Amino acid sequence: MIGPDARAVEFASSPKRDLTLVRGSLATLWDDAGKEYIDCGASFGVGNLGHCNPAIVEAIAAQARELIHVGPSFGTTAKAGFVDKLLSVAPPNLKRVFLSNSGSESVEAAIKFARASTGRKKVVAAMRGFHGRTMGALSATWRRDFREPFEPLVPGFHHVPFNDVDALDKAVDSDTAAVLLEAVQGEGGVHVATQEYLPAAREICDRRHAALIIDEVQTGMGRTGRLFAIERWGVEPDILTLAKSLAGGVPIGATLTTEAVEKAFHGSHTSTFGGNSLACAAGTAAIEYIVREKLWERAERLGNEAFETLRGLDARSVREVRGLGLMIGIELRGKAGPVLQALQEDGVLAIGGGSSVIRLLPPLVIPEEQWSRAIDAIGRALQHG
Ligand SMILES: Cc1ncc(COP(=O)(O)O)c(C=O)c1O
């Protein structure tokens, strides 16, 4: 090893896995001892296109020779190309794009746009929801242990039970700027919105003139079996947040809005690295790849096969298997930690979603043979768990 182990000096703000990774190729990762792993966490949902996808590597290398970064107030061909590409596949009512660097930043922008376009203060979010760790996004996030050490948070945030239409209807009033929801709650343990919930949220927002923000940071870009999860509910949000896999592994965030939101917006908001040329070139290549390969169809097919196998397991440790496409949550009767550790030893990297849920977010490009091996290993771990 050269120099100190980075994990020893990194600020210990989140639990660490006892693993140093050195190389990746699509759904395969290698550690510093040369051991091979099947990646079923895809870097917390960043890796829809897999590790070092040649299309992304090429795009980054070519862009790095041309222009890496200029401030967000300048136009670049990389940014123009990406924004065009993104709007060509986005829900058709969304016509404006704000670019940033992460999911949290895309949510911060969404909250600011909603408040400054409605002139209202209140934001209604869901229990078990996760929207990020910066102070605004954290205020919309539910988990108490994430929130409490940093209080006081931003005022004006209210949480209602997910999938409860009456509770949402009661919470949204004439001072509500926005309702902020995930279509599938990822970090909260992979809970899918009911078929009636998101259309009802749309109707409530329309009736009270509040903005509907759908956070697709984790569900977007093919993960759930549609390019955007919201397509399944036939709902058009006023604001949509994207990040994670949007640029094939390069940091990016995007907040898409309607023209009406932009027109009513009074204020300013910007981000130094927003619209970074490397990220935009990677983002254009990522969208082209996802669309060319119809990765959402692959996610749907491989996901359905896995649901059938996992639901058919005779494993007393499993309470429920739920999700959409290649966003799969396995709720256990006990803790997820020991099963995740056993899987790691068996060469499969999965992630948690709350303390008792195993979350699978494999790259959408995972070869079928590798996916079957991963599901077999997961079955073994669950039957012994
Ligand atoms: C739905 C959702 N929103 C926002 C975020 C925050 O994204 P980031 O960690 O890039 O700030 C996440 C991260 O997991 C997420 O799943």
Q: Per-10-residue mean pLDDT for the chain, 385 residues long?
A: 67 80 97 97 93 98 98 96 98 98 98 98 98 98 97 98 98 98 98 98 98 98 98 98 98 98 96 98 98 98 97 93 98 95 96 94 98 96 82
Give me ligand 1 centre to Cα 105, in Å. 9
Q: Collapsing DSSP states into helix, strand and coil, what is residue 113? A: helix
Give me ligand 1 centre to Cα 107, in Å. 8
Instruction: Specify whether 244 is catalytic.
Output: yes
Q: What is the pLDDT of residues 138-166, one digit of tens each?
A: 999 999 999 999 999 999 999 999 999 99
pLDDT at residue 187, rounded to an integer: 96
The CB of 140 under 6 Å from ligand 1? The reply is no
The CB of 103 under 6 Å from ligand 1? The reply is yes
User: How does strand 36-39 pair with strand 348-349?
Assistant: parallel
Q: At what angle are helices 54-66 and 277-293 packed, to 10 degrees?
A: 150
pLDDT at residue 3, rounded to an integer: 55
Instruction: Specify whether 18 is catalytic.
Output: no
The CB of 215 under 6 Å from ligand 1? The reply is yes
pLDDT at residue 4, rounded to an integer: 58
In this structure, what are the phi and psi dihedrals at residue 327, rounded to the nearest 5 degrees? -125, 95
Distance (Å, whole) CA 227 – CA 24: 25
The CB of 273 under 6 Å from ligand 1? The reply is no
CB 162 within 8 A of CB 322: no
Active-site residue identified among 98, 113, 130, 162: 130
Active-site residue identified among 215, 228, 238, 273: 215
Instruction: Specify whether 39 is catalytic.
Output: no
Give me ligand 1 centre to Cα 103, in Å. 4
pLDDT at residue 385, rounded to an integer: 63
Q: Collapsing DSSP states into helix, strand and coil, what is residue 351? A: strand
> What are the structure tokens assigned to 353, written together?
């979603």
| Mutation to probe ligand 1, out of 111, 130, 134, 162 (largest number of atoms < 8 A from CB) | 130
Task: Supply the DSSP symbol for 3.
Answer: S
Distance (Å, whole) CA 178 – CA 258: 14
129 Cα nearest atom in ligand 1: 1
Q: What is the pLDDT of residues 169-181, one digit of tens each?
A: 999 999 999 999 9
